[in-house]
């Protein structure tokens, strides 16, 4: 059993099958600015920081990027839903390097960004764009962009998600592979012909794309096959300069 499968297995034990059946994604997407710099930001909310005991006081995980550079940066933090105060920590080299402090809103968020090394403060402005929630079967969404946390030197990834009424989980319908240098979509991978749902196995939605080999541009996308999930493999063909999907998911762990 791989490390990833073991982590998912522990989640099943800790939270029970009922919560797994209901889905675990409550995500909110924003566009905005830090001072004059445009950014894209997404957060996923869940009590108890997704089962990690050493971070039990945190209830947000997230990712953001400066739109000029397109390098995804991880976030973690907390929201007090009594007063909607949000505090997000930017993670750099496994350390907290900056904070986002704002009043959470599904319309518009205003606050500050603070550099923890220099204490420099810049104004933060976020505009709500979309949400993806699959914690209830009656939830419904379509064409929701979810920025992935892992990227290649020249490309970053955005999953296009949907959720149908009565469905127990959201799913990634397509994966956009976007060039960092000019923010142009290089290629779109379509999962519509895959029988099992894609992009919904990892509890943290931003981790459903994993880089396996940076030099070879090989990546896995998690797929809901078997009891514990598995993955689809995408490789880069240097001759035709295109990414290619292997349409047969591989089970990770027991059937």
- Nearest by Cα to 162 from 140, 187, 185, 193: 140
Number of CB atoms found within 10 A of residue 91's CB: 18
Q: Which helix (H) or strand (E) holds 5?
A: helix 3-22
118 and 186 in a common domain: no
161 and 98 in a common domain: no
Number of CB atoms found within 10 A of residue 138's CB: 8
219 and 166 in a common domain: yes
CA atoms of 89 and 87, how far apart (whole Å)? 7
Instruction: Show the low-confidence residues of the chain (pLDDT under 70).
Output: 1-22, 254-255
15 and 111 in a common domain: no
CB 30 within 8 A of CB 42: yes
Provide φ and ψ at 110, rounded to 5°: -125, 135
- Nearest by Cα to 126 from 144, 105, 96, 143: 105
User: Looking at residue 50, what is its pLDDT?
Assistant: 75
- Which residues span the domain enclosing 162? 3-23+135-251
12 and 51 in a common domain: no
Residues constituting the chain: 255
Domain tally, the chain:
2
Taking every pair of Cα atoms in the chain, the longest distance, rounded to a whole number of angstroms, is 56
142 and 122 in a common domain: no
Out of 84, 101, 130, a domain closes at 130
Give CA angle at 107 (106, 108), nearest 5°: 110
Out of 130, 159, 186, a domain closes at 130
199 and 244 in a common domain: yes
User: Looking at residue 255, what is its pLDDT?
Assistant: 64
Residue 81: CATH number of its domain: 2.40.128.120
For the sheet containing 209-213, what is the strand order? 209-213, 218-223, 230-237, 242-251
183 and 207 in a common domain: yes
Is the Cα dihedral 113, 52, 18, 167 positive or negative?
positive
pLDDT, tens digit, for every residue of 19-47? Answer: 344 688 999 999 999 999 999 999 999 87
CB 71 within 8 A of CB 65: yes
Out of 130, 156, 186, a domain closes at 130
Q: What is the dihedral of CA 80, 94, 206, 182, to 10 degrees?
A: 120
């Amino acid at each position: 059993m791989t490390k990833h499968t073991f982590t998912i297995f522990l989640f099943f034990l800790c939270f029970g099958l009922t919560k797994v059946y209901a889905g675990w994604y409550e995500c909110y997407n924003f566009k905005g600015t830090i001072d004059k710099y445009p950014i894209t930001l997404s957060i996923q909310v869940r009590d108890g920081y997704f089962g990690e005991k050493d971070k039990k006081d945190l209830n947000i995980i997230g990712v953001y990027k400066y739109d000029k550079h397109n390098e995804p940066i991880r976030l973690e933090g907390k929201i007090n839903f009594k007063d909607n105060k949000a505090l997000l920590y930017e993670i750099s080299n496994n350390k907290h390097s900056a904070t986002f402090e704002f009043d959470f809103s599904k319309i518009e968020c205003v606050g500050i960004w603070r550099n923890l090394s220099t204490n420099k403060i810049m104004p933060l402005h976020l505009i709500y764009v979309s949400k993806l929630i699959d914690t209830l079967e009656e939830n419904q969404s379509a064409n929701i962009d979810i920025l992935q946390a892992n990227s290649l030197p020249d490309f970053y990834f955005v999953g296009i998600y949907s959720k149908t009424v009565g469905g127990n989980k959201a799913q990634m319908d397509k994966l956009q592979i976007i060039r960092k240098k000019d923010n142009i979509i290089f290629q779109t991978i379509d999962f519509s012909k895959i029988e099992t749902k894609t992009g919904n196995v990892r509890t943290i939605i931003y981790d459903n794309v994993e880089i396996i080999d940076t030099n070879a541009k090989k990546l896995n996308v998690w797929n809901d096959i078997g009891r514990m999930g598995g993955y689809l493999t995408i490789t880069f063909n240097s001759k035709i300069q295109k990414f290619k999907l292997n349409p047969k998911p591989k089970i990770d762990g027991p059937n």
